[in-house]
Amino acid sequence: MKARRDSLKALPLVQWEPADSVGEALMRRQGRGYQLVRYQAENVNFAQKQRMITLIGVKGARAAVQRDPTLLVADTISYLDSASAIAARGDSIVLRDPSRGDDLLMRNSLSYDLNTKEGLARDVSGANKSGGQEWFIAAHTAAFSGDSTSKARSAFYGRGGTITACDDTIPHYHFAAKEIKRIAGDIVVARPAVLYILDVPVMWFPFIFQDAREGRRTGMLTPRFGITELVRNSPTYRRTVENLGYYFALSDYYDLATSMDWRSSANATDQDPGWVRLNGEIRYRWINRFLSGRLAVSQNSLSSGDKNTSVSWSHQQDFSQR
What is the tens place of the pLDDT at every residue in 1-45? 344 455 445 456 777 777 777 777 777 777 666 777 788 888 888
Confidence of residue 283 (pLDDT cuts 50, 70, 90): very high
**Summary mean pLDDT of the chain:** 80
- pLDDT of 148 reads 42
Q: Which long-range contacts (CB under 8 A, 24 or more apart) does 54-62 make?
A: 54/78, 54/79, 55/79, 62/90
For 217-303, list the strands marked E by DSSP.
219-220, 240-248, 254-263, 275-286, 291-302
What is the tens place of the pLDDT at every residue in 98-123? Answer: 766 567 888 888 998 877 878 899 89
Q: Which residues pair with 126 in a beta bridge?
A: 137
What is the tens place of the pLDDT at every residue in 154-203? Answer: 788 999 999 888 877 788 888 999 999 887 667 788 989 998 887 888 77
| 305 secondary structure, DSSP code | S
Cβ neighbourhood burial of 300 (10 Å; 0-12, 13-18, 19+): middle
- pLDDT of 4 reads 45
What is the tens place of the pLDDT at every residue in 41-72? Answer: 888 888 888 788 898 987 767 888 887 778 88
- Give dist(CA 248, CA 236) in Å, integer: 37
Residues of the chain with pLDDT > 90, as a percent, come to 16
Residue with the bigger pLDDT between 266 and 320: it is 266
- Give dist(CA 127, CA 117) in Å, integer: 18
Average pLDDT over residues 218-236: 72
Q: What is the pTM of this model?
A: 0.60
Inter-residue contact 144 to 154 (CB < 8 Å): yes
Angle at 277 (CA atoms; ends 273, 283), nearest 5 degrees? 150
- pLDDT of 132 reads 56
Confidence of residue 130 (pLDDT cuts 50, 70, 90): low
